Structure 1
Amino acid sequence: MFLAGDAAHIVPPTGAKGLNLAASDVIMLSQALREFYRDHSSAGIDSYSERALSRVWKAERFSWWFTSITHRFPNMDGFDRRIQMAELDYIRGSITAQRSLAENYVGLPLETI
């Protein structure tokens, strides 16, 4: 049995990652199944979970980070708020940080078989 999309993982909504991850799961799984039936190789099927989870955890990390800089939480103190503002200020002033945010927001490159 193979799981894909929301059945396979739960991600916070920040960045709308659910649909992106579901689509990448289906692409990776379809490539693995095509390789299995066309080339009689189980390499893609055998590595599907590891590859899909690697992508999921990167998206989880981004969603956690993005949520942490774009939301105020009841337990935040002055230090936490200053860290949040420093992070936003860094993004505003750094092309590298802006590119990293954009790459993660749009979606990391899909690694295929």
Structure 2
Amino acid sequence: MHRPRWQQEGKEPDYRFSLANERTFLAWIRTALSLLAAGVLLEQFAVTLQPRGVLVALALLLAVLACLLSAGAYQRWKSNEIAMRRGESLPHGLLIPVTAAALLMVAAVLAGMLLL
């Protein structure tokens, strides 16, 4: 099987670090899948919460966030692999703060809807 150019550069990292990086990637994918499921749940089953438009917007936001997390998880995995091959520090990204901010907003809006 053909390996991408970036996998051929630098020194092959210890397989334990590569496997840990892969487990982290899979954790991000599970999180994205959970967010997608939460969006579907909100749109399909939260029939008593009003206004309905806000609920649909929150469900859509969760679905978009799931898409961004899926793409970001791959990018983070790849960046970490490249950094390990080059012997560099692991890069920092926006995945964690963006996810936290979006979920904080969703939770705040849902709390407000439940209280009203």
Q: TM-score, normalised by structure 1?
A: 0.44
Q: Which has the bigger relative contact order, CA under 8 A and spacing at least 6?
A: 2
Q: TM-score, normalised by structure 2?
A: 0.43
Quick check: which has more Rg, 1 or 2? 2
